[in-house]
Structure 1
Amino acid sequence: MGIFGMEFDFNNVVAMVSIAIPLLAFFWEFVVIRRKRLGYRFQMDTLATDTAHAPSADVLARMHDNGRPLSQPSFVLLRIENAGWREIAPSDYLAPPTAETGAHVLFPDRRVVGMAVTELSHPALRHFFVTTRDGRTQETDGFGIGEDDGSGVIRLPRVTLNPGAHYKVLALLERSSGSPGAVFPDPELQADLTGQNRRSFAWGRWLARLKPAQTESHTFASRAAKVLMSLLAVAVLVQAGITLFWPTRPAPLDCVGGTLHMEGSTAFAPAVQAAAKEYATLCEAKGAKIVADDGAFQGSGEGIAALERTGAAAGLKGTEGLADRIAFTDGPADQGHPEILPRPVSYALFTLVVNKDAKVRNLSLAQVRSIYARKTTNWSEVGGANIPIHLVDRHRDSGTRGALEKRVLKGRSVPEADVNDCAQLAHDKAGVCEVDSTDTLLDRTATLPGALGYSEASSVTSGDLVKLRIDDMPPTLDGVENGTYPYWQTEYAYTYGEPPADSMAAAFLRYLTDQGGKDILRQYGNRPCSETEYPLVCRPA
C-alpha cells in the first residue's frame, strides 16, 4: 500500500502508531489533564514519640496544650501546589460561591492542636492566610481548624496559585479516639476544581470536562523520572524514525515465510533450536516462524510418531508431502514407517557421563559392557569410590540410548529399570531408573551419587558430571573419525512425504544442511554431512 509516494507495510504502520501514542499521551496529560491541577503531598506524618531517644528529644513527647499534656502528639507537613499549567483562581475551587474555604484536610482519630503556614512560594500568598483586624493579626475566615464527626479538620482558603506555586502547612495534632498506640488512619484532603474557563472556545470547555474529577495525591513525577521518560520518548521517536525512513534489509531470496513445527530428539534439540532461531531472524521480513520449544522435543521415537499422526490427519493426496513439520532422530528410525523420508543432517558425538563422586574418569570398553550387563555393580570394582553404580537410562524410543546399544554395547540392550523415579533408588545398592529427556538424565546423574548416564557431548555443562573416556580416548570428533572413539550417531531429519520445494520444511532443511545452519551444527559439536566424503551415508571415513 502506498500513500504520498511512501510504501506502508506492517512495520511502518506499527512505527506510525508508536509515534502517535506518545504524542496523544503528551496532549492528554499536559493539555487536557494538567490544564488545571491542584496537587498535594503529605511530606511528613509522624508521632513525636517516634523521634530518636536523645535527652533533647523528650521535649517533643512532653508537649502541652494550656498546661494539659498532649496524648500521642504527632506532626503533619502538607504541601499544596499548582501542578498544572494554568492559574488556579478562587472561582476554580469547587465550593459554594459565598464560602471562603476551598479545601478541607481531615485527620481521623486526631484533634488539630495548632498549625502554621511554614513555606510560601511567594510572599503575596501570606494574605490568603492571615489578615489584620483592629490592629491584630489573625487568621482569615477561610483558614482555620475544627472538628467533623470525630476527625480533626484544617480548613484551607481559596488560594490563587500560579503554575508551580505552592505553600506548606505544618500541623500539631494529638490522639482523640482509637486505641492507644494504634496506627492513625491516613489523612484525607477534600478538594476539587471545577475546570471552568469562560473565555475558552466550546471545544476547550468540552476537553476540560474530560479531566478526572479527583485531584492527584502526588505530583506528576520526580525530576529523575521526568529525565528517564524523556529519554524513553526520544528512543521511541528515533526507533520509529529508523523504521519509517531507513530501509530495512530485505530477506534473502531463498527465504520462505510461514510456520514450521519441529520435534524429536532431545539430544539434538539445542543445535536445531539455535539454527531455527537464526533462520527465523534471517527470514523475518518474509514472516518466517519456527515452533521448536523444549516441549516439542520428547525423544526420537515420539517425534516420528507425532510426525506420522500429523501426516495421516492431514489427508494428503498423491505425492504431496507435509510442508510444515520435521522430526529429528538420533540414528535412522525403525523399519515400518513407509510414509516418512529420511535426510542425514550430521553425525553427533555422544558421551558417557558419571557423577563426580564415583571417582572415575576412564573405563575400558569391556568395563562399560560389564557395567551395563550388571556384572559390575560397584565403582570400587573398576578403581573408583566404594559406592554402588546407579544406571540412569533413557526410555526405549530414545535415539541416544539406541546409539549406546548399537555402537558401544554391540547390540545388547541396557538393563530394564528397577524404578520409574530415580529418587526411589536405594543408595546402598546398585539400581536402574529411566527418564524421558536428555536434560532430566543429566540432572539426575549430577545429583545422584554413583550415577552413570549418557547424552550428546555438547549438552554436558554441569561441574558435577565427568565425561568418561573409553579406552583412554576422550569424546571428540577426531576420535570418531579415526575410529578410536565408538560412541556417535548420525542425526536424521524426517519429513512426511516430500515437502514442496517452496515450503518452510524444504527451505529450513536447505539452510541446515547447505547454508548457514552448518556453522551452528559445528558449534554444537556436530559434523555436517555435507562435509563428509559420502554425504548421503554421513558417517566417519
Structure 2
Amino acid sequence: MGDFSLDTALALIGIAVPVGAFLWEFVFVGRRRLGYRVQMDTPVTGEIESVYPGVLRNLRPDAGDSGPELRDLSVVLVRIENSGNTAIAASDYLAPTARIGLHLHFPRRRVLGMAVTELSDPDLAESLGATSGIAVREDTGGHIGVIDLPKVPLTRKHHYKILAILQQSEAGGTEEERKPVLRGEIRGGRVVATRSQTGISRVMLVLTTFLVLVIIGQFVVAALQPPTPLDCAAGKLTLVGSSAFEPVVRDAAAQYEKRCAGAEFAFDLQGTERGLDRLAEAGPTGELVAFSDGVKGPGYPALQPRPLAVSLFAVFVHKGLGITDLTAAQIKDIYQGKITNWRQVGGPDLPVVLIDRAPGSGTRVIFENALLGGEQPARPHRSCTAIKDTAGTYCDVPVTKDMHKAVDDLPGAIGYGEFSEARKAEMRVVTVGGVAPGRQAAIDRSYPFWGIEYAYANGDLPGGSLAASFLHYLTANVGAEVLRAHGNEPCASALIEPGRCAPTS
C-alpha cells in the first residue's frame, strides 16, 4: 500500500461511512450564531465487554504496560451548526491562532480518538481534512480532553459532527460538570448550546457501534507507534528580572516540571534592572535567564534578547475616588504634575498621590513610552510607607505587589502595572479614553498601554540546556497557552504583525 498507512485507511473509513447520514434539525433563526448540541454522551464499556469479554482491559500496546487501560469509556457525539440566519466565514472566528477557531472541551475525560461523522455539504471536507489543524490534546491541568477544531465556513443550516471516544481521567464530578463544552468567539455573534429536536435513531446507533470499533482501531495503531517526546532538558535554572511577569514565569515553570523530569527552577524576580544586572555580572552561563518588561538599555551589550509576547498593562486608582476613565492626555498631565487634584478630572476634591515604579523598572519604562511620551519629571526617592500619614503626593515602589498595596493604602493614589495581576489584586482599573484593557485591544493597538516582554541570556545558550528548552517551551504549545492565560499574546502568534516584537536597541 506504499505510504497509505492503516491509520489513514481507518480515518477515511470513519469519515466515508457516516457522511451520508443526517438528522433533520430545528433551526433557531437569530443573529450570527454558532450552535452546538451534545446528541449523545453514553458509556460503552459494558456493551463492548458483553460482546468481547476482557478486550478493553487487554487492548494496549505490546511493548510493556505503558499504555492506558481501555476502561471507563464513553462515546460523545456533538453537532456543530450555523444556528443563526447569517453565514459564518473563516474570518469571523475570533481565535488567536491562524487555523484553529474552536475548542471542544471534555472535563474530567481524555480523548482517545475522534472522527468527523457527518458533513451537511461535501465541500466542508476541505476545511476538516488532515492538514486543517484538527487535533486532540489535553489542557495544562491534564484533566480536560480537548479537540481543536479549524475555522470552518458555515452557511445557514450547515453543520458537521464530531464523534469522540473518551476515557475518564479524573473521578468524581456531577453530570453537569462533566458535560462537553464548545469554546470560541464569533465576530458579531456568539457560540451557544442549542437543543436537539430529535432522538437518536437506530441508524445512528449502528453507526456509533461501527465508529467505536474504528476509533479503537485508530487508537491501537497510534499506540503502537513511538511517541513524539517533549523537548525536555534536565538541570537547574534560575529565573530573575521582571516582578510583573513573575506569575507567568512561575506557572510556565510549574507546567514544564510536570512534563520534564529532572528540571528544577529557582526564582528571584525583584525587578527588571536587578535581573539584567545579575545576568550581566554572571557572565556567559546557561543557568540564568532574565525577563524584562520592554527592551534592555545600552548598558548590557552581551545580553541576547528573545521576544516572548505582547504584554498588557493597566492604570489603576484608589477605590474611593470613583474615577473609572482617564484619557491618555490626562494620565500624562497627572504624572507630569500638571493635574494635582482629582476635581480637575471630575473626581473628588482630593490631592493626587502619584505612585511610581523605581527607576530601572521595565514596567516604568513601558508606562513612560506608552502614555507619557517617554518623559517624566525627575523626583527624589520617597518611601510609600513614609508618606502614609503625611501630606506627601509622590512615592515609588520596587516591585508590582508593593504598587498594589500603596494604591490601596493611600487615598487619592494612582499607579500602574501588569493587567492580569491588577485584576487578581482587585485593583480599580480605569479605561484609557474609553477603551478597556484587553488582549485584542492591545493586538489591534486601540488600547495604548502594552509592551513587549523579553527573555535575556548572557551570550548564546547551549542547544541541550534547560534554559534553551524552557525558552522554546514558553513560545510554543502549552507554554504559549500559559502566556495567553495571563492576558499576553505570544510574539509567534499570527495575530501579531511582523516586526512588532523586534528589539529596538
Give the TM-score, by structure 2 length.
Answer: 0.52
What is the aligned partner in structure 2 of residue 298 from structure 1? Answer: 270
Answer yes or no: is 1:288 the counterpart of 2:250: no
What is the aligned partner in structure 1 of residue 420 from structure 2? Answer: 458
CA pair 473-288 structure 1, distance change in 2 beyond 3 A: same
Answer yes or no: is 1:273 the counterpart of 2:250: yes
Which residue identity lines up with residue 436 of structure 2 in the other structure?
Answer: P
Q: Is the 8 A contact 1:344 1:492 kept in 2?
A: yes
CA pair 353-251 structure 1, distance change in 2 beyond 3 A: farther
Which residue identity lines up with residue 235 of structure 2 in the other structure?
Answer: G
Structure 1 segment 392-407 matched on structure 2, within 5 A: 392-407=355-370
Q: 1:374 aligns with which of 325, 337, 342?
A: 337
Q: Is the 8 A contact 1:418 1:431 kept in 2?
A: no
Q: Match of 1:516, SS?
A: helix
Answer yes or no: is 1:490 the counterpart of 2:452: yes
Structure 1 segment 144-155 matched on structure 2, within 5 A: none
What is the aligned partner in structure 1 of residue 478 from structure 2? Answer: 516
Q: 1:339 aligns with which of 288, 297, 302?
A: 302
Which residue identity lines up with residue 360 of structure 2 in the other structure?
Answer: D
Moved over 3 A (4+): 249-253, 461-464, 532-537
Cα separation, 1, equivalents of 2:320 and 2:501: 37
Q: Is the 8 A contact 1:372 1:415 kept in 2?
A: no
Answer yes or no: is 1:525 the counterpart of 2:487: yes
Q: Match of 2:484, SS?
A: helix
Q: Is the 8 A contact 1:445 1:453 kept in 2?
A: yes
Q: Match of 2:401, SS?
A: helix
Answer yes or no: is 1:538 the counterpart of 2:501: yes
What is the aligned partner in structure 2 of residue 389 from structure 1? Answer: 352
Cα separation, 1, equivalents of 2:480 and 2:229: 17
Cα separation, 2, equivalents of 1:250 and 1:290: 26
CA pair 471-491 structure 1, distance change in 2 beyond 3 A: same
How many corresponding residue pairs?
Answer: 277
CA apart distance, 1:447: 1.7
What is the aligned partner in structure 2 of residue 330 from structure 1? Answer: 293
Cα separation, 2, equivalents of 1:253 and 1:470: 42
Report Cα offsets for 1:95-139 as digits up to 9, x if no partner.
xxxxxxxxxxxxxxxxxxxxxxxxxxxxxxxxxxxxxxxxxxxxx
Q: 1:261 aligns with which of 235, 238, 242?
A: 238
Which residue identity lines up with residue 519 of structure 1 in the other structure?
Answer: E
Cα separation, 2, equivalents of 1:462 and 1:349: 14
CA apart distance, 1:252: 3.4
Cα separation, 2, equivalents of 1:416 and 1:442: 20
Q: Match of 1:329, SS?
A: strand
Cα separation, 2, equivalents of 1:534 and 1:336: 29
CA apart distance, 1:414: 5.3
Q: Match of 1:424, SS?
A: coil
Q: Match of 1:460, SS?
A: helix
What is the aligned partner in structure 2 of residue 358 from structure 1? Answer: 321
CA apart distance, 1:536: 5.8
CA apart distance, 1:481: 2.2
Which residue identity lines up with residue 306 of structure 2 in the other structure?
Answer: R
What is the aligned partner in structure 2 of residue 143 from structure 1? Answer: none
Cα separation, 2, equivalents of 1:512 and 1:281: 14
Answer yes or no: is 1:309 the counterpart of 2:281: yes
Report Cα offsets for 1:472-518 as digits up to 9, x if no partner.
11111222222221111000000010010000110001100123100
Q: Is the 8 A contact 1:373 1:414 kept in 2?
A: yes
Which residue identity lines up with residue 394 of structure 1 in the other structure?
Answer: R
Q: Is the 8 A contact 1:351 1:457 kept in 2?
A: yes
Structure 1 segment 235-246 matched on structure 2, within 5 A: none
Q: Is the 8 A contact 2:404 2:425 kept in 1?
A: no
Q: Match of 1:360, SS?
A: coil
Report Cα offsets for 1:306-349 as digits up to 9, x if no partner.
001111xxxxxxxxx42111000000000132211001000100
Q: Match of 1:530, SS?
A: coil
Q: 1:506 aligns with which of 443, 446, 468?
A: 468
Answer yes or no: is 1:437 the counterpart of 2:399: yes
Cα separation, 1, equivalents of 2:321 and 2:228: 52
Give ranges in structure 1 of 5+ residues lacking alignment. Answer: 1-6, 8-248, 312-320
Which residue identity lines up with residue 306 of structure 1 in the other structure?
Answer: R
Structure 1 segment 465-476 matched on structure 2, within 5 A: 465-476=427-438
Report Cα offsets for 1:421-457 as digits up to 9, x if no partner.
3442455x46110111001111111121111000000
Q: Is the 8 A contact 2:318 2:410 kept in 1?
A: yes
CA pair 337-418 structure 1, distance change in 2 beyond 3 A: closer
Which residue identity lines up with residue 275 of structure 2 in the other structure?
Answer: G
Cα separation, 2, equivalents of 1:525 and 1:462: 12
Q: Is the 8 A contact 1:394 1:441 kept in 2?
A: yes
Answer yes or no: is 1:420 the counterpart of 2:392: no
Q: Match of 2:330, SS?
A: helix
Cα separation, 2, equivalents of 1:387 and 1:251: 62
CA apart distance, 1:273: 0.9
Which residue identity lines up with residue 281 of structure 2 in the other structure?
Answer: R
Which residue identity lines up with residue 483 of structure 2 in the other structure?
Answer: L
Report Cα offsets for 1:133-190 as digits up to 9, x if no partner.
xxxxxxxxxxxxxxxxxxxxxxxxxxxxxxxxxxxxxxxxxxxxxxxxxxxxxxxxxx
Which residue identity lines up with residue 274 of structure 1 in the other structure?
Answer: D
CA apart distance, 1:461: 3.6
Cα separation, 2, equivalents of 1:309 and 1:461: 35
CA pair 401-463 structure 1, distance change in 2 beyond 3 A: closer
CA pair 426-371 structure 1, distance change in 2 beyond 3 A: farther
Q: 1:446 aligns with which of 378, 403, 408?
A: 408
Q: Match of 1:531, SS?
A: coil
Cα separation, 2, equivalents of 1:468 and 1:351: 7
CA pair 342-355 structure 1, distance change in 2 beyond 3 A: same
Q: Is the 8 A contact 2:388 2:410 kept in 1?
A: no
Cα separation, 2, equivalents of 1:440 and 1:336: 27
Q: Is the 8 A contact 1:417 1:432 kept in 2?
A: no
Q: Match of 1:281, SS?
A: helix
CA apart distance, 1:418: 6.1
Cα separation, 1, equivalents of 2:380 and 2:324: 25
CA apart distance, 1:534: 4.6
